Amino acid sequence: MPKLNEHYQDLKESYLFTEIAHRVAAYTAANPDKKVIRLGIGDVTLPLGRLALEGLHEGVDAMGSAATFKGYGPEQGYDFLREAISAYYARNGVTVDASDIFISDGAKSDTGNISELFDTDNVILIPDPVYPVYVDSNVMGGKKITYLAGNAENGFLPLPDPAFHADIIYLCSPNNPTGAVYNKEQLKVWVDYALANEAVILFDSAYEAFITDPELPRSIYAIEGAKKCAIEFCSLSKTAGFTGTRCGYTIVPKELVFTASNGEQMSLHQMWNRRQCTKFNGTSYIIQRGAAAVFSEEGMRQCHENIRYYQENARIIADTLTKKGIRFYGGVNSPYIWFECPQQMESWEFFDYLLNHAQVVGTPGAGFGENGKHFFRLTSFGNHENTAEAMKRFDELF
């Protein structure tokens, strides 16, 4: 009989969005005549931009001719995409070496898989509330987590306690689920703390394209010293509508070198490269062609047309919450709006209430951690009509 990884027993029964899908499926089965509006999982609804599509088509066509056909590609991703991403960072004022960029099928896999590079014996600091993948992947590995409270007092932007030592720190900005964004000064506090503690920051910037305020950092590498202490994850899912197409990237600077217990130097870049070469055969050439088109200036302009559309949804949601006097976070430099559940309800209770009385699906804050227990997340990724209808129902309910 195999001995199983019993740490799986320590996980919650099901993944947050699976649980939501089950509850919604049960409701729609029992109420087939009701129109349910989904503002729960952050899944995009607009089609891909024209240039991204053209890139994908070019990729498909290349597969049809012996002269351009592609078999296995480089595990790290094709240079044309790595360079396009590096140029995109440069346009945003941040220098990233193309050879530090690893292309993947999305930030979810990479933020989950990165924990393999670290021993079980680390002090892992994870803000609460948080994207559940960071937590679950560490629980699966039997790792102990220390939580850092994000709450209304700190604007859901917790900062480190200088008296506490951490080895690994997860940060997400713009934040999923709260929509809060660290400014440069706050992010510098984290970078300085990580350098002082010889810690590594695992920085998820999947929502950077939603930042409209030019003063806010879109990459941790906008902060001096970050290349010595931070890995950055990013994704085309929300930037370019690739939730179904799948493409992301992880930046592991070569400067990230630490001393092993035998005194030898170990490079996180080399370790991640080794891991990817062993376990990953690269993202499809076709997808990488589409992705490279996204990072051109015109491709990004097209992405921003869609982003502006979603931002209008966020405004509709925010206006309703403001009208109702409900305190909320995010929605400006982020596609998520995070608000206090009305009538002091707990978040799963509010989830059921909203589904049953308004047929609107959101995400209960408790699914993101203890500090989300009285909060709720709505996404701006729906269409205008549904978002407006959902908020009209919300308005009538409270």
Give CA–CA dist 97/27, Å, rounded.
Answer: 49
- Options 27-35, 38-46, 59-67, 86-94: segment touching ligand MLT (CB under 6 A): 38-46
Judged by beta carbon, residue 38 or residue 143, the one nearer ligand MLT is 38
Is the distance from CB of 333 to CB of 211 less than 8 angstroms?
Answer: yes
42 binds ligand MLT (CB under 6 A): yes
387 binds ligand MLT (CB under 6 A): no
Judged by beta carbon, residue 78 or residue 375, the one nearer ligand MLT is 375
Is the distance from CB of 82 to CB of 99 less than 8 angstroms?
Answer: yes
Helix axes 50-62, 297-324, angle to 10 degrees: 140
Minimum gap (Å) between residue 108 Cβ and ligand MLT: 5
289 binds ligand MLT (CB under 6 A): no
Residues in contact with 123: Cβ distance below 8 Å, sequence separation at least 6, in sequence order? 146, 165, 166, 167, 168
Q: Which two tokens stand for residue 116?
A: 């393999």
- Options 5-13, 37-45, 304-312, 387-395: segment touching ligand MLT (CB under 6 A): 37-45
Residues 215-244 that bind ligand MLT (CB under 6 A): 237
Which residue in 96, 101, 105, 108 binds ligand MLT (CB under 6 A)?
108
Minimum gap (Å) between residue 97 Cβ and ligand MLT: 26
Which residue in 86, 111, 137, 176 binds ligand MLT (CB under 6 A)?
176
Judged by beta carbon, residue 130 or residue 256, the one nearer ligand MLT is 130
Judged by beta carbon, residue 108 or residue 188, the one nearer ligand MLT is 108
- Options 35-43, 74-82, 275-283, 308-316: segment touching ligand MLT (CB under 6 A): 35-43
Give CA–CA dist 21/383, Å, rounded.
Answer: 19
Residues 113-142 that bind ligand MLT (CB under 6 A): 131
Minimum gap (Å) between residue 240 Cβ and ligand MLT: 13
For residue 330, is it left (φ>0), alpha (ψ between -120 and 50) or beta? left
Judged by beta carbon, residue 179 or residue 282, the one nearer ligand MLT is 179
326 binds ligand MLT (CB under 6 A): no
248 binds ligand MLT (CB under 6 A): no
41 binds ligand MLT (CB under 6 A): yes
Judged by beta carbon, residue 374 or residue 377, the one nearer ligand MLT is 377
Judged by beta carbon, residue 186 or residue 334, the one nearer ligand MLT is 334
Judged by beta carbon, residue 160 or residue 362, the one nearer ligand MLT is 362
345 binds ligand MLT (CB under 6 A): no
Minimum gap (Å) between residue 173 Cβ and ligand MLT: 14
Nearest one of 150, 132, 185, 143 to 166, comparing CA atoms: 143
Site residues for ligand MLT per CB under 6 A? 41-43, 108, 131, 176, 237
